Chains A and B, each alone.
Chain A
Amino acid sequence: MTERQESKQSVKEMNAAMLSSMEAPSRGWLVLAAALGAVVGWGAYAWGLQLVNGLGVAGINRPVMWGFYIINFVFWVGMSHSGTMVSAILRLTNANWRRPILRGAEAMTVFTITVAAMFPLIHLGRSWKLHYFIPFPNTLGLWPNFRSPLLWDIMAINTYIIGSSLFLYLGMLPDLAVVRDRKQGLAKTIYSILAMGWRGTAREWRVYHKASTLMAALIIPVAVSVHSIVSWDFAMTLVPGWHSTIFAPYFVIGAIFSGIAAVVTLILILRRAFQLEEFLTPGHMDNMGKVLLVVSLLWSYFYFAEVLTTWYGHKPIEWAVFTFTGDAYGFLLGLMVVGNTCITIPALCFRRVRRSGPAMLFISIFVNIGMFTERFLIVVPPLAHRNVPFMWGTYAPTWVELSITAAAFAGFGLLYVLFSRFMPIVAISDVHEGEALRSHHRLGRRTVSTMTEEG
């Protein structure tokens, strides 16, 4: 076989390997999809029960009127942050190691923000009143009040969902053409429509690159605004523990932290499930581990700064919330600090840990347990211990809230499982581009790998 034929064969083989998730579903895939679907169904039943019986079936009550639904909302919006944002930053900085992880990260954003958007709807209780958010004069002659941060949320999340979906689709355009060319019959017709007639002409590639860069530059400020606005849902109130100028950047960093951890978890699962070890290498884990380490340091710094200034000022009304959190939720506080700081920072300093799949899986999952706990500690203690002692209270979620939370995780998993079955889960053209630009050079006694870059 000549070198040329070998190279053609390898492109074909690489395509087949990267599209392996789109082959006929295995029994394991079907079982997983059915199990996730069953959990989603159970969650839908719980929500249905709430719609019929009212919010009384949930644990939220005076004074804690924001419970698991809002915790979930903040958590899932946070997770959505990193997918598109990391992808956009890596695209803008032209980091070559980004290529195999882009798609997984971008898809994660779209699904997590979709799950997040469900929670305000569930939290409404009377979800059928949602149209009051839509800016048209309703039956009462009222317009939505744009002075409310909740309305800012609606606008920001819609912008982010649309922007992230378009960013994902734009990145997939050349890959949909690859799928189109491998399919037959109805599937070919569907992928042909999705690929829009893409052929890979010089002009198409030039415009595509420019559009990708422009989109990346536009989506980053949107991502920052989304979580800033989520933080302002809290910070715009005068509730002690919430009314803080540091909340917006603290939320943004927390969101990036949990999002990057989620990307790591997903990549490790995809790598194992679809035998993508060739494309998602320990080198990618190493780089993601470094990013996670930096963000963990930043998150810890922000948390320390928040606690330090409150402790030093010692305003009774503010400090009371911190002491209450330590007393009533000491275990959760410890879990958060251990998960987000004490384990993550020392462990990720070691290259061996960053390159180890099981270790990274453990750390990334633990980070998100820590971040979910952090969301709980942000939402619940300040409401449970406000400045009027006769209004102090407690909160514990009911089975309805726990079921809906489980359904959210299952729903996200199901969307991802379905996506990996019907869409290319690895950014094929990006990986090929990386391979095309890579060459090997003799340098002294060694042969080193180099990347071609246009000046």
Chain B
Amino acid sequence: MEVVGIFENLETAGHAVKDLIRAHVQEEDITSLTAVPYPEGVLVHEKDTRSHLQWFALGGGIAGALTGFGLAAGTAWLYPLFTGDKPIVSLFPVGIITYEFTMLFAILGTVFGMFIEMGLPGFLFRVQAPEVTEGMVGISVLCATADERGRIRELLLKAGATRVRTGGVRK
């Protein structure tokens, strides 16, 4: 279950996070919902900031290079055109096609990896807070039980939340 408190501004939201931590809420269960990105630690500290995005890009690039090479060189081998003493697999054209496919697949890999790491698309079980895009700040807390949800709700309201939304599971 997820509880999202909506706050008027950054300062109140920051204080609310401190209050939650003081009330023994695990910091990894807290995240912020904002209309703009803030530097790490302004609202919450992410425990796990590792990213594998570059590996998705690299993986995509390698797959693209193999595809491009396979397409350009492979088809030349399969359907050889003998022209004088020129090689069947021409280095520069194959290089260019390989390059284009490498870049294309690296881009696709990056976008794919981005959605995987963000956990998107995520239409279900996520509390949407439309106030956030209008400049409010959301503080989201994951709760295991209904009792805990009630306690968090109280804490958020006490910390100055103008509204509290509850819902399914935050991914």
Most buried by B among A141, A144, A210: A210
A218 & B35 in contact (Cβ 8 Å cutoff):
no
**What residues of B have a CB within 8 angstroms of the CB of A197 in the complex?**
120-123, 126, 128
A147 and B111 CA atoms in complex are apart in Å by 31
**Residue among A10, A159, A182 making CB contact with B104, cutoff 8 Å:** A159
Contact, CB under 8 Å: A163 / B103: yes
Alpha-carbon distance A272/B113, docked complex (angstroms): 39
Q: Does B36 count as interface, using CB distance less than 8 angstroms?
A: yes
Q: Do B122 and A196 touch (CB < 8 A)?
A: yes
Chain B residues, Cβ within 8 Å of A436: 36, 38
A85 at the interface (CB under 8 A from B): no
Q: Which residues from chain B contact A208 at a C-beta distance below 8 Å? A: 37, 114, 118
* Binary contact track A412-455/B, C-beta < 8 Å → 1, others 0: 00000000000000000100110010000000000000000010
Given contacts A135-B71, A218-B110, contact A201 B140 (CB under 8 A): yes
Residues of A within 8 A of B170 (CB): 201
Contact with A along B33-51 (1 / 0, CB 8 A): 1111111100110100101
Q: Which A residues, 7 to 54, have Cβ-Cβ distances below 8 Å to chain B?
A: 7-8, 10-12, 15
Residues from chain A with a CB closer than 8 A to the CB of B133 are 15, 177-178, 180-182, 200
Report whether B32 and A201 are in contact in the complex, using a CB–CB cutoff of 8 Å: yes
A15-B133, A146-B72, A197-B120 are known contacts. Are A207 and B51 too (CB-CB below 8 A)?
yes
List 6 additional contacts besides A10-B135, A180-B133, A218-B107; criterion CB under 8 Å.
A8-B9, A15-B133, A137-B79, A201-B170, A215-B107, A432-B36
The answer on a CB contact under 8 Å between B101 and A199 is: no
| In the complex with contacts A143-B79, A206-B46, A214-B129 CB distance below 8 A | no
Complex: A23 Cα to B99 Cα, angstroms? 43
Question: Considering the complex, which residues of chain A in the window 303-338 have a beta carbon less than 8 Å from any beta carbon of chain B?
Answer: none
A342 CA to B135 CA, complexed, in Å: 48
Is B34's CB under 8 angstroms from A200's CB? yes
**1/0 contact string of B89-106 vs chain A (CB within 8 Å):** 010011011011101101
CA distance A151 to B110 in the complex (A): 26
Q: Tell me the smallest distance from the CB of A142 to a CB of chain B, in Å.
A: 7
A155-B101, A218-B103 are contacts. A202–B110 as well, Cβ < 8 Å?
A: no
Residue contact A211 to B49, C-beta cutoff 8 Å: no
The residue from A152, A196, A198 contacting B96, defined by CB atoms under 8 A apart: A152
CB distance from A2 to the nearest CB of B (A): 9
Closest partner residue, chain B, to A14 (CB atom): B135
Interchain CA distance A222-B136 in the complex, whole Å: 39
- Contact between B103 and A210, CB atoms less than 8 A apart: no
A residues less than 8 Å from B38 (CB atoms):
202, 205, 436
CA A166 to CA B106, docked complex, whole Å: 12
**Which of A11, A203, A225, A454 makes the CB contact (< 8 A) with B100?**
A225
Binding site for A on B (CB under 8 A): 8-9, 31-40, 43-44, 46, 49, 51, 53-54, 57, 71-72, 75-76, 78-79, 81, 90, 93-94, 96-97, 99-101, 103-104, 106-108, 110-111, 113-115, 117-123, 126-130, 132-136, 138, 140, 170
Residue among B54, B111, B140 with most chain A CB within 10 A: B111
Contacts of B90 in A (CB 8 A): 146-147
Please tell me if A185 contacts chain B, counting CB pairs below 8 Å.
Answer: no
In the A-B complex, the 5 residue pairs with the smallest Cβ-Cβ separation, listed nearest first, are: A11-B135, A205-B37, A181-B130, A197-B122, A211-B114
Structural contact, B93 and A146, CB atoms closer than 8 A = yes
B136 neighbours in A (Cβ, 8 Å): 8
CB <8 Å contact, A432 and B101: no
* Also in contact, A147 and B134, with CB within 8 A (given A197-B126, A215-B107): no
A172-216 to B contact mask, C-beta < 8 Å, 1/0: 001001101110000000001100111111111111111100110
Residue numbers in B under 8 Å from A143 (CB-CB): 75, 78-79
Q: What are 19 A-B contacts defined by CB distance under 8 Å? A: A8-B135, A12-B135, A15-B133, A135-B75, A146-B90, A152-B100, A158-B104, A181-B128, A182-B133, A197-B128, A199-B33, A199-B138, A201-B170, A202-B34, A202-B46, A205-B34, A205-B38, A206-B46, A218-B103
The CB with the most chain A CB atoms within 10 A, among B44, B119, B129, is that of B119
Is A162 engaged at the interface, CB distance under 8 Å to the other chain?
yes
Cross-chain contact B121 with A196 (CB below 8 angstroms): yes
Given A181-B134, A214-B53, A163:B107 Cβ within 8 A: yes
Task: Please give, as numbers and ranges, the residues of chain A lying within 8 Å of B35 by CB-CB distance.
Answer: 11, 174, 178, 200, 429, 432
Cβ of A156: which chain B residues have Cβ within 8 Å of it?
Answer: 100
Which residues between 152 and 174 of chain A lie within 8 Å of chain B, taking CB atoms?
Answer: 152, 155-156, 158-159, 162-163, 166, 170, 174
In the complex, chain A residues whose CB is within 8 Å of the CB of B119:
203
Taking CB atoms and an 8 Å cut-off, the chain A residues in 232-276 that contact chain B are: none
- A218 lies within 8 A of B33 (CB): no
- In Å, the complex CA distance between A159 and B108 comes to 10
- How far does the alpha carbon of A4 sit from the alpha carbon of B106 in the complex, in Å? 44
Instruction: Give the CA-CA distance A375 to B90 in the complex, in Å.
Output: 30
B33 close to A201 (CB less than 8 A): yes
Q: A389 interface residue, CB < 8 Å from B?
A: no
**Residue of A with least CB distance to B61:** A218
CB closest chain-A residue, reference B114: A211
Q: Which residues of B contact A219 (CB under 8 A)?
A: 107
Q: Which residues of chain B are near A166, meaning CB under 8 Å?
A: 107-108, 111
